[in-house]
């Protein structure tokens, strides 16, 4: 049995914060707002995903919205998700609450993403210490919700960068704190960005098999 005690990766200083999340949102929005992104084909696959870049960005926005919504009720549901109606545009497509108007183009899509990110930042800032947000990988506190949002941002930014022909590397300090909070089995002492890619099944680390299935551990480990 694996001991999922908190692992302090080198350089980790304190918890994942709302400021970390706000910076992650800012960086990903900046990546997707540049002229190269605007001119790219958003109907191309996002990296190794079966979804297009447009669908992946909508999925990312929806993730951020959903994590915010889970922290929203005064008594957040402890055993399930807030019962929004999720829809798929076609079989195999993401199941979302949030969709962006196609007529608004990539700029409008990125605004939707930014708005959903801002909602999660606000909820993380204002959540009470006792608030919990249900998730299948562990019911999370506000720090865990921020860390989950950052994994979604950084991993899908990489998917989108591959699909759109952009360059993307997540910031080392924030990534280190996210690894310490959500991935207690991740190796310490390795470069944090390749380690997060490995932990999410997107990359390799020397001497380690890539996980066939991956997950995080979002429940507080007090």
This prediction's pTM? 0.91
The range of the structural domain enclosing residue 136 comes to 18-199
| Domain annotation covers residue 96 | yes
- Cα–Cα distances (Å) from 196 to 138, 171, 209, in that order, read 19, 11, 14
| Domain count within the chain | 1
**φ and ψ at 139, to 5 degrees?**
-65, 125
| Domain annotation covers residue 3 | no
Nearest to 149 by CA among 32, 50, 83, 63: 63
For residue 48, give both structure tokens. Answer: 């190794």
| Domain annotation covers residue 86 | yes
Burial of 183 (0-12, 13-18, 19+ CB in 10 A): buried
Hey, what long-range contacts does 172-176 have (CB within 8 A, 24 or more apart)?
Answer: 172/11, 173/11, 173/13, 174/16, 174/20, 174/23, 174/24, 174/150, 175/150, 176/9, 176/10, 176/11, 176/12
Q: What is the pLDDT of residue 176?
A: 95
> How does pLDDT run along the chain (222 residues), one tens digit per residue?
333 333 344 444 479 999 999 999 999 999 999 999 999 999 999 999 999 999 999 999 999 999 999 998 877 666 788 888 899 988 999 999 999 999 999 999 999 999 999 999 999 999 999 888 988 888 899 999 999 999 999 999 999 999 999 999 999 999 999 999 999 988 888 999 999 999 998 988 888 888 888 899 988 876
Please state the length of the chain. Answer: 222
Q: What is the CATH number of the domain that holds 139?
A: 1.20.120.450
Nearest to 82 by CA among 91, 74, 73, 95: 73
| Domain annotation covers residue 48 | yes
| Domain annotation covers residue 217 | no
Q: What is the pLDDT of residue 6?
A: 37
For residue 151, give both structure tokens. Answer: 């994994």
Q: What is the pLDDT of residue 76?
A: 66
Q: Which residues fall within 8 angstroms of residue 203, CB to CB, at 6 or more apart?
A: 194, 197, 210
Q: What is the pLDDT of residue 9?
A: 44
């Amino acid at each position: 049995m694996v001991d999922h005690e908190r692992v302090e990766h080198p350089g980790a200083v304190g918890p994942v914060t709302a400021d970390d999340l706000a910076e992650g949102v800012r960086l990903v929005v900046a990546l997707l707002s540049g002229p190269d992104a605007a001119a790219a084909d958003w109907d191309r696959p996002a990296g190794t995903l079966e979804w297009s870049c447009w669908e992946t960005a909508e999925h990312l926005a929806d993730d951020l919205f959903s994590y915010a919504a889970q922290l929203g009720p005064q008594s957040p549901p402890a055993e399930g998700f807030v019962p929004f109606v999720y829809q798929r545009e076609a079989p195999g497509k993401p199941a979302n609450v949030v969709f962006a108007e196609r007529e608004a183009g990539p700029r409008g899509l990125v605004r939707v993403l930014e708005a959903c990110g801002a909602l999660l930042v606000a909820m993380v800032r204002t959540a009470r210490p006792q608030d919990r947000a249900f998730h299948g990988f562990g019911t999370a506190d506000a720090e865990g919700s921020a860390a989950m949002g950052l994994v979604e941002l950084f991993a899908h930014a990489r998917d989108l960068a591959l699909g759109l022909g952009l360059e993307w590397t997540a910031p080392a300090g924030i990534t280190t704190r996210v690894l310490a909070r959500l991935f207690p089995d991740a190796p310490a002492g390795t470069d944090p960005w390749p380690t997060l890619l490995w932990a999410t099944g997107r990359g390799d680390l020397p001497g380690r098999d890539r996980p066939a299935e991956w997950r995080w551990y979002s429940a507080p480990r007090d």
